[in-house]
Amino acid sequence: MEQRKSPVRGSAAGQLSFPNSDSRSAPHNPQRPARFHLSGPPYLLSSFSGFSPAPVQPASLLPCFFSSLEGISPKTISNIGGLHQMLSLHQHIFAAVPRDSIIALPEHDSTNKYGASFQTPGGRLLIKPAEYVELVSSMKPDFWVTLADEVPAWVSDKRNRTSVDRTLRWLDDCLSLNKTGTTIFGSIVGGSSIEERHRCAQEVAQRNVSGYWIGGFGLGESMDERAALLTAVTDNLPEDMPRHVSGLGLPEEVLQGVAAGIDLFDSTYVYHLTLGGFALTFPLERNKGDNADYQLSDSGGDDMKINLKATIYRKDTSPIVESCNCFTCQNHTKAYLNHLFNVHEMLAQTLLEIHNTHQYLGFFCSIRKAIEEGKFEQFRRNFVESRRECLFAAASSD
Amino acid sequence: MALKFEVLGRFNRARAAQLTLPHYLCQTPLFMPVGTQGTIKGLTKNQLEEIGCQIILGNTYHLALRPTSELIDELGGLHKFMNWPRALLTDSGGFQMVSLLHLADITEKGVTFQSPVDGKPMLLTPEESIQIQNRIGADIIMALDDVVRTTITGPRIEEAMYRTLRWIDRCIAGIYVSEVWLNVICLGIYAIGGLAGGEDKDSFWRVVAQCTAALPEDKPRYVMGVGYPLDIVVCSALGADMYDCVYPTRTARFGTALVPEGVLKLKHQAMANDIRPIDPMCECMVCKNYTRAYIHCLVTKDAMGSQLLSYHNLYYMMKLSRDLHSSIVEGRFPEFVCKFLQTMFPKGDVPEWVCNAMEVAGIDISSCCREMRFDVDKSSTL
């Protein structure tokens, strides 16, 4: 793999491009950089795109990493040629992020001045900046995020301040250890303190990085608090550099992030939905007042998703979503998926993940389109309000 | 629709043929993967087509349980339900009942067993088995046989044989679609014997040889529950045409890949740093894209590990089927067999039962063996 020499350009032209890979062009809003979506944990992507018979829209990837790659050493990854080679996903962009919401959760109690601690299936792991940089260099991602001390919303002020200090120190460590000139995103933390968020963002903005990763979200804060915290960060960041957040997955959370100026998202939303047997059905071209066909809350669904395990789908020979172009909807019925889930067949997960990812990426497409047409705020309002209406209708029909 | 079976090439007892079924034109010898519950574990229909699967086997017992044969029928049959455009074969349900359930009784009426749902006694008759299979709608369905264990000896076997023949007549009376195949007693016995150890292989090949010699030439011979690539090569040499087995997909889930040399255990520590593909000569998607090291780290932790191995293993089996067919048609079957054995037994330690079977099949494998053995009792085989 070649060295990444030029920085990422999140320019007003609305492109996020990386050397040696296809550029991702997208409609843009002059006030904001382009929006892209990064898909969830490694095996979320690997479990579908390695197998997706119909190509899903190019998405990128990949939170970490160390524990999911238990059983394979950095040296071997290097020998294979890095992540792109190993996973055979040459068209995709890979991001290395020190958090995997499924299998490598930040363990703030055990993190210390030497390194960040993670809870993984193989036990607790302490990663120091030097080890982290070495691991990342063997993977050769398109860009990577500096090691961060992420803390949940409820920690003490003192602990929160420490997390900012450490994260900044590790950022500098990672920058100085980075010999290969790869593309780096600086990590910004600060928990649920507006002041600390300001401070961290201002400090990171002064460093020589190519983009920003905003951590510490999706770890217990409420949506209401989050809006102010996000803006506290993005207000301090240069307009023309991409901003990436991990852990915001619900459509409303994504919309909130976009409104605050976030460009890249990764989360386990699709993974968890799929695990539960839920299929995304949100109408992407939604008009207020359209589509009053609300699902009963009995089956656990709502107007955005259905529970394919529910018995009402036993004989349903329609695809999950009529107009959906994904492999699953083009080839299979709800009845078949219902059967596969009920007999616990692996294929159920594979097919559903293809569909859910396709839908979710389509959602991001709609967001980009709305921005391009200058209608984002309206899009967001419509979306959130029709969700509220649906829940209200479902609740009052009981 | 009448089944068409046309032999295109031969070498002694071995045949390569074309089998025309309602949904697909198949080439034999062929291997059928087992899609127990209406799916091959974790693989999509596109992948199965890519690999070259011609016929998939569905288990009547499991499908009748969930989602039920009535539902499948209502939704247009199993092909439509799974969206599998090629051929399907269902078994009679008898095997599962013997192997999975407490066998209450076999009488002339049928097989009585305990329902897995509520424990009440249930009766599966030959007619009912056909009805269920008709609803499922496969291209080929199987007659219910009076299933016995290989360990039994004596008059029970003869009783079972005659009863099966009477049941076959009842089955044939009950069909209205598809081809019904006779589950001839010797093959039925083998299906129970399954994947036994080496010492049973001697009986195994002799039974297959006797059956293929006795059965009509113009109809396909299906050996159920076979199996290992070596067994398939031997049985094809002896004149069998079709095989099914869970082995390739099941062994994939245990981290084992099929390779020309035998097997490769991806769980072994030695694989952790091995950046070669499973089989450098294999053209499948898995070998073209992934390393042993990567699969090693997936194998115990991620479903994708077993999906990748299932894909590769089935590709291997389909390729074996294609190679058997084309080598017979092109008149180079003995060369193919020798090369196969040389690759699998580079030291020349070809098992005795294989040597004996090849002797009867009329294939000279002396170039593969360290020493030839001539202790075949020719009077016991035809």
Q: Which of A121-125, A191-195, B156-160 has the lowest mean pLDDT?
A: B156-160
Q: What is the DSSP string of B340-355?
A: HHHHH-TTS---HHHH
Question: φ and ψ at A269, to 5 degrees?
Answer: -55, -50
- CB neighbours of residue B106 within 10 Å: 20
Q: Does any CB of chain B come closer than 8 Å to the CB of residue A363?
A: no
Query: Nearest-CA distance from A76 to chain B in Å?
Result: 6
| pLDDT surpassing 90 at residue B238 | yes
Q: Mean pLDDT of all residues in chain A?
A: 75
pLDDT of residue A94: 77
A155-183 burial: b if 16+ Cβ within 10 Å, else e: beeebbbbbbbbbbebbebbbebbeeebb
| pLDDT surpassing 50 at residue A8 | no
What is the Cα–Cα distance from A253 to A223, expressed in whole angstroms? 7
Burial of A208 (0-12, 13-18, 19+ CB in 10 A): exposed
A398 vs A262, residue with greater confidence: A262
> What region, left, alpha or beta, does residue B59 occupy, with left being phi > 0 and alpha being psi -120 to 50 degrees?
beta
**Nearest by Cα to A229 from A171, A164, A146, A159:** A164
What is the Cα–Cα distance from B101 to B113, expressed in whole angstroms? 7
Which chain A residue has the Cα nearest residue B275? Answer: A80
Flag whether A355 is marked binding: yes
Asked whether the beta carbons of residue B301 and residue A70 sit closer than 8 angstroms, the reply is yes
| pLDDT surpassing 90 at residue A25 | no
Query: Nearest-CA distance from B381 to chain A in Å?
Result: 44
Q: Which of A267-276, B109-118, B372-381 has the lowest mean pLDDT?
A: B372-381
Give the percent of chain A with pLDDT over 90: 31
Q: Residue A271: what residue type?
A: Y
Mutate to test the interface with A, among B301, B302, B310 (most CBs of A within 10 A): B301
B96 vs B298, residue with greater confidence: B298
B257-284 burial: b if 16+ Cβ within 10 Å, else e: bbbbeeebebbeeebbbbbebbbeebeb
Q: Does any CB of chain B come closer than 8 Å to the CB of residue A80?
A: yes
pLDDT band at A57 (very low <50, low <70, confident <90, very high): very low
pLDDT of residue B198: 45
Q: Average pLDDT of B53-74?
A: 92
What is the Cα–Cα distance from A40 to A44, expressed in whole angstroms? 6
Residue in A46, A86, A332 closest to B83 by CB: A332
Over the stretch B272-291, which tens digit does the pLDDT of each residue have? 999 999 999 999 999 999 99
User: A240 by DSSP, 3-state: which?
Assistant: coil
Q: Residue A207: what residue type?
A: R
Q: Which residues of A touch B83 (CB under 8 A)?
A: 331-333, 336
What is the Cα–Cα distance from B203 to B206, expressed in whole angstroms? 5
What is the Cα–Cα distance from B359 to B220, expressed in whole angstroms? 23
Residue A139's contacts (CB-CB under 8 Å, 6 or more residues apart) are A65, A74, A77, A82, A83, A94, A96
What is the Cα–Cα distance from A83 to A69, expressed in whole angstroms? 11
Q: Does any CB of chain B come closer than 8 Å to the CB of residue A207?
A: no
| pLDDT surpassing 90 at residue B151 | no
Q: What is the ipTM for the molecules in this complex?
A: 0.86
Residue A318's contacts (CB-CB under 8 Å, 6 or more residues apart) are A333, A334
pLDDT of residue B107: 79
Quote the DSSP letter at residue A297: G
Q: Which residues of B touch A43 (CB under 8 A)?
A: 302, 304
Asked whether the beta carbons of residue A50 and residue B45 sit closer than 8 angstroms, the reply is no
Strand partners, B148: none
Q: Mean pLDDT of all residues in chain B?
A: 83
Between chain A and chain B, how many beta carbons pairs sit less than 8 Å apart?
Answer: 113
User: CA end-to-end span of chain B, whole Å?
Assistant: 34
pLDDT of residue B173: 63
**What does the block give as tokens for B151?**
């360990």
- Feature table: binding site of B for Zn(2+): 282, 284, 287, 312
Omega cis (within 30) before B67: yes
Query: Nearest-CA distance from B221 to chain A in Å?
Result: 31
User: Which residue is it, tokens 């001839």?
Assistant: B184
pLDDT of residue B121: 76
Residue A20's contacts (CB-CB under 8 Å, 6 or more residues apart) are A1, A2, A4
pLDDT of residue A287: 40
What is the Cα–Cα distance from A36 to A20, expressed in whole angstroms? 18
| pLDDT surpassing 60 at residue A299 | no
Burial of A2 (0-12, 13-18, 19+ CB in 10 A): exposed
Cβ-based interface (< 8 Å): residues of B facing A: 37-39, 41-47, 62, 66-67, 71, 74-76, 81-83, 272-273, 275, 289-291, 293-294, 296-297, 300-304, 306-308
Asked whether the beta carbons of residue A347 and residue B44 sit closer than 8 angstroms, the reply is yes
Which chain B residue has the Cα nearest residue A53? Answer: B46
Interhelix angle B303-329/A42-49, rounded to 10 degrees, is: 20
Q: Which of A32-36, B5-9, B32-36, B266-270 has the lowest mean pLDDT?
A: A32-36
| pLDDT surpassing 80 at residue A62 | no
| pLDDT surpassing 90 at residue B18 | yes
pLDDT band at A64 (very low <50, low <70, confident <90, very high): very low
- Feature table: binding site of B for substrate: 91-95, 145, 194
| pLDDT surpassing 80 at residue A253 | yes
Instruction: Please identify every residue of B annotated as catalytic.
Output: 91, 244
Question: φ and ψ at A371, to 5 degrees?
Answer: -65, -45
Report field, pTM of the whole predicted structure over 0.95: no
Query: Nearest-CA distance from A331 to chain B in Å?
Result: 7
Over the stretch A108-161, which tens digit does the pLDDT of each residue have? 778 888 888 877 767 788 888 888 888 888 888 888 889 999 888 888 999 999
pLDDT band at B185 (very low <50, low <70, confident <90, very high): very low
pLDDT of residue B347: 93
**Contact yes or no for A282/A359 (Cβ under 8 A):** yes
Q: Average pLDDT of B112-135?
A: 81
Residue in A70, A80, A331 closest to B291 by CB: A80
Residue in B42, B81, B307 closest to A336 by CB: B81
Query: Nearest-CA distance from B197 to chain A in Å?
Result: 30
By DSSP bridging, strand A264-266 and strand A243-246 are parallel
Which chain B residue has the Cα nearest residue A45? Answer: B304
Asked whether the beta carbons of residue A345 and residue B37 sit closer than 8 angstroms, the reply is yes
pLDDT band at B154 (very low <50, low <70, confident <90, very high): low
Asked whether the beta carbons of residue B307 and residue A349 sit closer than 8 angstroms, the reply is no
Mark which residues 102-121 of A lie under 8 Å from B by CB: 121
Asked whether the beta carbons of residue A80 and residue B294 sit closer than 8 angstroms, the reply is yes
Over the stretch A353-379, which tens digit does the pLDDT of each residue have? 999 988 888 888 888 888 888 888 999
pLDDT of residue A134: 86
Quote the DSSP letter at residue A58: P
| pLDDT surpassing 90 at residue A306 | yes
